[in-house]
Amino acid sequence: MADNKVRIGFIGCGGIANFHFGHYDNNKIPEAQITAVCDLIDERAQKAATRFGATPYKCWKEMLDKEQLDAVYVCVEPCAHTGEFGGMELAAIDKGCHLFVEKPVALDLAYAKKVLDGLTAKKLIHGAGFQDRYIDFIPTMKGWLDHSKVGFFNAYWVGGMPGVWWWRRRDTSGGQAVEQTIHTFDMCRNMFGEVVEVSAFGRRGIIDDVDNYDTEDASAVNLKFANGVIGTVYSGCFVRGGGGKNGMDVYTMNGKLVYNERTDLTITEPHRTITCKVGNDFGQDEDNAFIDAILENDQSIIISDYYQAYKNLELTLAANESMDNHGKTIYLNQDLVADK
Ligand SMILES: NC(=O)c1ccc[n+]([C@@H]2O[C@H](COP(=O)([O-])OP(=O)(O)OC[C@H]3O[C@@H](n4cnc5c(N)ncnc54)[C@H](O)[C@@H]3O)[C@@H](O)[C@H]2O)c1
């Protein structure tokens, strides 16, 4: 660490990288410095380099070779973790860099497992981009659900189609469940634990006016958790002009919980209502936690780690597999099932 600052390199300087850049701007995290940035698109690397006084690169291999980095952020599109220009996580681990990887951490589960094993073997600090875990009322939500008899839930990521080129194809984005609704699946796992059965249906053909479009317009994924909870997660990217819904409705014996994604929480019991609005900058807190964990050498500071990201990828890829096989049940985490 130079001047006791954590030296950071970014691979990918697009949309989500700029979200993280905002948390390092104006010395918001004085213990860290972005010293190198890399993107296949020159202007993006140049712009980020100018913003932070960092060195721009087009090739991450060159960046990792030339720079002395303590930590690396990987903010590339889902398909770019592997393939011709991929493999950056394993190379960064090889150099002993701590790692923050945006979700979905890959489309290839075997590759993600190698990364997870590498991080664990080298005892490196790792974070992943499920920032909703840092929302201040999540412990309230989880605490209430832990003390409730949950019947079932419905959860949603329903809206329009993101504009980035790679989103519209399954082979580049993973499809909506893997790329977008993965945040919702993560919230479900955060609330209810591991999923043991997945059965899903998707439909296509609603969106017929987007070139090169090749993914589900809508899907419904039934989940059964190891603790017995059941629920359905809906994805839809066909909604235009409003009318979408992101979040979760949980029905319990003692009341109903409604979570509006990244906005608020309402718990309605027979004789009282609990309401919470998001009161923190949870994206900032996510990046603060990454740097604190590095400085303290304490992985437990991180709420959203690569392991959780790996499990979310496993779950959403299972949903795709089920969709591709007429709703076939996919079994996961069978070691958690008592009566196998
Ligand atoms: N956590 C969140 O809320 C959130 C929000 C948006 C996007 N994301 C995720 O972040 C990732 C990136 O999304 P985005 O919206 O920033 O995409 P983007 O297309 O805006 O940016 C990706 C950038 O990565 C660069 N890139 C790709 N391969 C590269 C390589 N080998 N070397 C260097 N640069 C490379 C591309 O040139 C591009 O500039 C996706 O996985 C997406 O799911 C997360």
**Domain extent listing, the chain:** 6-124, 132-279+314-336
Does residue 40 have its Cβ closer than 6 Å to ligand 1?
yes
The pTM of the whole model exceeds 0.75: yes
Does residue 196 have its Cβ closer than 6 Å to ligand 1?
no
Q: For residue 258, report the distance from its CA to the centre of ligand 1, in Å.
A: 31
HSE of 42 in the Cβ direction (CA atoms, 13 Å)? Answer: 0
Does residue 217 have its Cβ closer than 6 Å to ligand 1?
no
- CATH for 132-279+314-336 is 3.30.360.10
Closest CA to 72 of 281, 284, 283, 294: 294
Does residue 89 have its Cβ closer than 6 Å to ligand 1?
no
Minimal-distance CA residue to ligand 1 atom 5: 16
Does residue 103 have its Cβ closer than 6 Å to ligand 1?
yes
Q: Which residues are CB-contacts of 9 (< 8 A; sequence separation ≥ 6)?
A: 34, 35, 36, 37, 38, 63, 64, 67, 69, 71, 72, 73, 97
Q: How many residues does the chain have?
A: 340
Whole-number pLDDT of residue 38:
98
**Are 288 and 181 within 8 A, CB to CB?**
no
Report d(CA 77, CA 272) in Å as an integer: 45
Whole-number pLDDT of residue 140:
98
Does residue 102 have its Cβ closer than 6 Å to ligand 1?
yes
Q: For residue 78, report the distance from its CA to the centre of ligand 1, in Å.
A: 7
Report d(CA 181, CA 234) in Å as an integer: 8
Does residue 44 have its Cβ closer than 6 Å to ligand 1?
yes
Give pLDDT tens digits for 44-102.
999 999 999 999 999 999 999 999 999 999 999 999 999 999 999 999 999 999 999 99
Whole-number pLDDT of residue 146:
96
Q: For residue 50, report the distance from its CA to the centre of ligand 1, in Å.
A: 19
Whole-number pLDDT of residue 2:
61
Buried b (16+ CB within 10 A) or exposed e, 90-111: ebbbeeebbbbbbbbbbbbeeb
Q: For residue 31, report the distance from its CA to the centre of ligand 1, in Å.
A: 25
Whole-number pLDDT of residue 4:
79
**Nearest atom of ligand 1 to the alpha carbon of 130:** 1
Is residue 54 within a helix (H) or strand (E), and if so which, with residue range? none
Q: For residue 30, report the distance from its CA to the centre of ligand 1, in Å.
A: 25
CATH fold of 6-124: Rossmann fold (3.40.50)
- Residue to mutate, 44, 57, 64, 76, ligand 1, most ligand atoms under 8 Å from C-beta: 76
Does residue 11 have its Cβ closer than 6 Å to ligand 1?
yes
Show the tokens assigned to 148.
């409730």
Is residue 301 within a helix (H) or strand (E), and if so which, with residue range? none
Q: For residue 108, report the distance from its CA to the centre of ligand 1, in Å.
A: 16
Does residue 14 have its Cβ closer than 6 Å to ligand 1?
yes
Does residue 160 have its Cβ closer than 6 Å to ligand 1?
no
Please report, in tens digits, the pLDDT of each residue of the chain (340 residues total).
767 799 999 999 999 999 999 999 999 999 999 999 999 999 999 999 999 999 999 999 999 999 999 999 999 999 999 999 999 999 999 999 999 999 999 999 999 999 999 999 999 999 999 999 999 999 999 999 999 999 999 999 999 999 999 999 999 999 999 999 999 999 999 999 999 999 999 999 999 999 999 999 999 999 999 999 999 999 999 999 888 999 999 999 999 999 999 999 999 999 999 999 999 999 999 999 999 999 999 999 999 999 999 999 999 999 999 999 999 999 999 999 976 5
Q: DSSP secondary structure string, 71-123?
A: EEEE---GGGGSSTT--HHHHHHHTT-EEEEPSS--S-HHHHHHHHHHHHHTT
Show the tokens assigned to 230.
């059941």
Report d(CA 166, CA 178) in Å as an integer: 13
Minimal-distance CA residue to ligand 1 atom 18: 14
Does residue 179 have its Cβ closer than 6 Å to ligand 1?
yes
